[in-house]
A and B are shown apart, each in its own frame.
Chain A
Amino acid sequence: MSIRETNPNFMNGVPELLILRLLQQQEMYGYEIVQAIRSRSAEAIAIGEGVVYPVLHGLERDGALKSRRKIVNGRSRIYYSVTRAGSRRLADLSQSWTNLTASIQKMLRGGQYAKATL
């Protein structure tokens, strides 16, 4: 019997996926990102808004995001955008989540032996 690999970031990867997806369209700063997540998920995803920053900083440290300071309306903002490595990471994460949700849907509809590929 082979040992199946599990994904320890099963749920932890959600903010990362959403952030990369949003930032692929346009650069944003933290507040904008959180408001975009709230509005596009119809407020279904509710987290303490401040916890988005460790995720952003971690992604930047991994090279998936880059940041720059920009003065907007007299205030200094840190804008984030996706790098090439970030786009690749987004593609991988999206694929994983698509497979996962398809498998879960299948199980919910009664297919007991559906195979999840993470």
Chain B
Amino acid sequence: MPKPLFENELRERLLRAGVAPRHVRRYLTELTDHFADLKAEEERAGRSPADAESAALIRLGSMDELAQAMTEEHQFRSWCIRAPWAIFGLAPVCLLAGAYLIACYILWSGWKIFLPGTDSPFIPIHGLAVFYFGVGRLLYFSAPIFVGWIIALVAARQRLNPIWPSAGLTLIAVMGATAQVHTNSPTVSGGPGHVIMDFTLGSSLQGNLLHALTILSLTMLPYLIWRFRKGHSISA
């Protein structure tokens, strides 16, 4: 079914007004179906396709009416608008913490399985251990970037202004750059050691800064490009 002309404009208005994307999607789907029914009805009444389309649009309601009916209902508001601190602060921190927890568990369990009796898991490894530890390492290094992409995606879907997403991306970049993993030797001979994680500035402040900027640019850049293209397509 061809999309009616009002769809894009209404979508942008609703998203920018803070209506949750899932409610916008459903509203537009039903409006599009309704519009098709109205148009068919008008054509059956003898109008030309162009006249039927105009009449159907009038019956459906003006852009202001359609948008206002949805935006004045606070229950359809997105959580990005209701609690941006939770969506762009708390949730990404929890996600990143969860990913780091899994990465640390992989390191600890790999140490126990493949390197029992050694003082540290950070020694040359071979065979299956390379793959096992590699998964943990990949998760550890890529988690801030993935979490940043999620923030950018959520912000882009909701057409948010960049303040909260930027704050969230900066927080994740700082966490990613300052995360440090340490291990303690086993206290009992042959037993497992401890894996400890903290967030501190390492020996090189410049290194931390470079790491943070790398994460920030990898996550912020796609978001900024999207914003630029969206702004360009709207003004065009």
Indicate whether A and B interact: yes
Q: Does B198 sit at the interface, judged by CB under 8 A?
A: no
In the complex, per-residue mask of A96-116: 1 if CB is within 8 Å of any chain B CB, else 0:
000000000000000000000
Please state if B61 and A31 are interface contacts (CB–CB under 8 Å).
no
Please state if B33 and A49 are interface contacts (CB–CB under 8 Å).
no
- Using CB atoms, name the residue of chain B closest to A12: B72
Q: Does A89 sit at the interface, judged by CB under 8 A?
A: no
User: Within A37-74, which residues are at the interface with B (CB < 8 Å)?
Assistant: 47-51, 53-55, 57-58, 61
- B142 to chain A: closest CB distance in Å? 37
- B53 to chain A: closest CB distance in Å? 15
- On chain A, the number of residues with a Cβ less than 8 Å from chain B's Cβ atoms is 18
CA distance A78 to B65 in the complex (A): 22
Please state if A54 and B60 are interface contacts (CB–CB under 8 Å).
no
Q: Given A48-B62, A50-B61, A51-B69, decide whether A57 and B34 contact each other with a Cβ distance below 8 A.
A: no
CA distance A77 to B209 in the complex (A): 54
Q: Does B26 sit at the interface, judged by CB under 8 A?
A: yes
Please state if A53 and B62 are interface contacts (CB–CB under 8 Å).
no
Q: Given A57-B26, A57-B76, A61-B75, decide whether A50 and B33 contact each other with a Cβ distance below 8 A.
A: no
- Using CB atoms, name the residue of chain A closest to B26: A57
> Which A residues are in CB contact (< 8 Å) with B115?
none
Q: What is the interface of chain B mostly: helix, strand, loop, or mixed? A: helix
Q: What is the interface of chain A mostly: helix, strand, loop, or mixed? A: helix
- B225 to chain A: closest CB distance in Å? 34
User: Within B62-117, which residues are at the interface with A (CB < 8 Å)?
Assistant: 62, 65-66, 69-70, 73, 75-76
> Which B residues are in CB contact (< 8 Å) with A75?
33
CA distance A2 to B66 in the complex (A): 40
In the complex, per-residue mask of A21-47: 1 if CB is within 8 Å of any chain B CB, else 0:
000000001110010000000000001
- Using CB atoms, name the residue of chain B closest to A31: B37
Q: Does B23 sit at the interface, judged by CB under 8 A?
A: yes
Please state if A54 and B30 are interface contacts (CB–CB under 8 Å).
no
In the complex, per-residue mask of B7-40: 1 if CB is within 8 Å of any chain A CB, else 0:
0000000000000000100110111011001100
- Using CB atoms, name the residue of chain B closest to A77: B33
Please state if B60 and A48 are interface contacts (CB–CB under 8 Å).
yes
Please state if A49 and B23 are interface contacts (CB–CB under 8 Å).
no
CA distance A50 to B33 in the complex (A): 10
CA distance A58 to B76 in the complex (A): 8
- B4 to chain A: closest CB distance in Å? 11
CA distance A78 to B26 in the complex (A): 10
> Which B residues are in CB contact (< 8 Å) with A54?
27, 69-70, 73, 76
Q: Does B59 sit at the interface, judged by CB under 8 A?
A: yes
> Which B residues are in CB contact (< 8 Å) with A31?
33-34, 37-38
CA distance A62 to B165 in the complex (A): 31
Q: Which residues of A are at the interface with B, using a C-beta cutoff of 8 A?
A: 29-31, 34, 47-51, 53-55, 57-58, 61, 75, 77-78
3 shortest interchain CB distances as A-B pairs: A48-B61, A51-B69, A48-B65
A sample of 17 cross-chain residue pairs with beta-carbon separation below 8 angstroms, ordered by A number, consists of A29-B33, A30-B34, A31-B37, A48-B59, A48-B69, A50-B31, A50-B61, A51-B61, A51-B65, A51-B69, A54-B76, A55-B69, A57-B26, A57-B27, A61-B75, A75-B33, A78-B29
Other A-B pairs beyond A51-B66, A57-B27, 10, CB < 8 Å: A30-B30, A30-B34, A48-B69, A49-B34, A49-B59, A51-B61, A54-B69, A57-B76, A61-B75, A75-B33
